[in-house]
Amino acid sequence: MINLFLDRHDFLFAVEGFARGSHLRQHVWKEIVFKSISQMSDDDIDFLWFFMRRDIFECYFYELNGKKNTHFGYEDFMHVLAALHRGNRYMVTFYSEIEHKQLQALCYRFEGEYHPLYLYIDGKIVGKTKKNSGLQSFNAFVPDEWIKAVAKRKTPENRYVELGKEEWWNDLEIYDNFKTTYNG
């Protein structure tokens, strides 16, 4: 295991390089960016979300001869954008059929499902220790039949969003509809 300490600029440059490399983009979103969320401040998350949306989005979504197309890896890229978007946060209360108890999770919405970032019991993050951040699995989601309540969190301001690009920050439907928009 190699531990690297990168500032947000170096991290973004590395991720962009991985995303543009055909054989490297396969794992960058799930194994590098998603797993790093727990180490980021809210400001770091906002920074990365905006510059990845602005600078990397077109690596995966493009138009050719009037037809919208995608490149390999676009689903994982969108999954990570959804996870990074702090306006895409929901506190979900559900009854776990696995643990047989009611839990809460801070989730983000992606492809019509609520994906947990962190589980909570009695107001504390489940599994958070000195060696474990408590961040849930990339592919985890809360089944609809378990959900008891969903409370949308207030959308915070993102100081990095440039004038004229505010629609990117305000459009949460893109995380549920990108497949029909680009491959429909």
Range of 29's domain? 8-87+163-170+177-183
Predicted confidence band of residue 160 (pLDDT cuts 50, 70, 90): very high
Strand partners, 104: 93, 120
Asked whether residue 54 falls in the same domain as residue 38, the answer is yes
Asked whether residue 69 falls in the same domain as residue 102, the answer is no
- Helix axes 42-55 and 8-20, enclosed angle (nearest 10): 30
Does the pLDDT at position 24 exceed 70?
Answer: no
Asked whether residue 121 falls in the same domain as residue 109, the answer is yes
* Residue 2 in domain: no
Q: Can you tell me the distance from the alpha carbon of 110 to that of 144, in angstroms, rounded to the nearest whole number?
A: 13
Domain count, the chain: 2
Structure tokens at 145: 């039949």
Asked whether residue 139 falls in the same domain as residue 78, the answer is no
Q: Give the model confidence (pLDDT) of 105-138 as tens digits.
A: 999 999 999 999 999 988 888 888 878 888 999 9
Does the pLDDT at position 162 exceed 70?
Answer: yes
* Residue 158 in domain: no
Predicted confidence band of residue 183 (pLDDT cuts 50, 70, 90): low
Average pLDDT, the chain: 90
Predicted confidence band of residue 23 (pLDDT cuts 50, 70, 90): low
Structure tokens at 89: 């946060």
CA-based torsion, 166, 76, 113, 100: positive or negative: negative
Q: Can you tell me the distance from the alpha carbon of 69 to that of 84, in angstroms, rounded to the nearest whole number?
A: 23
Predicted confidence band of residue 1 (pLDDT cuts 50, 70, 90): low
Contact by Cβ (8 Å): 161, 137: no
Asked whether residue 107 falls in the same domain as residue 120, the answer is yes
* Residue 141 in domain: yes
Predicted confidence band of residue 84 (pLDDT cuts 50, 70, 90): very high
* Residue 1 in domain: no
Contact by Cβ (8 Å): 114, 105: yes
Does the pLDDT at position 27 exceed 70?
Answer: yes
Asked whether residue 71 falls in the same domain as residue 115, the answer is no
Does the pLDDT at position 184 exceed 60?
Answer: no
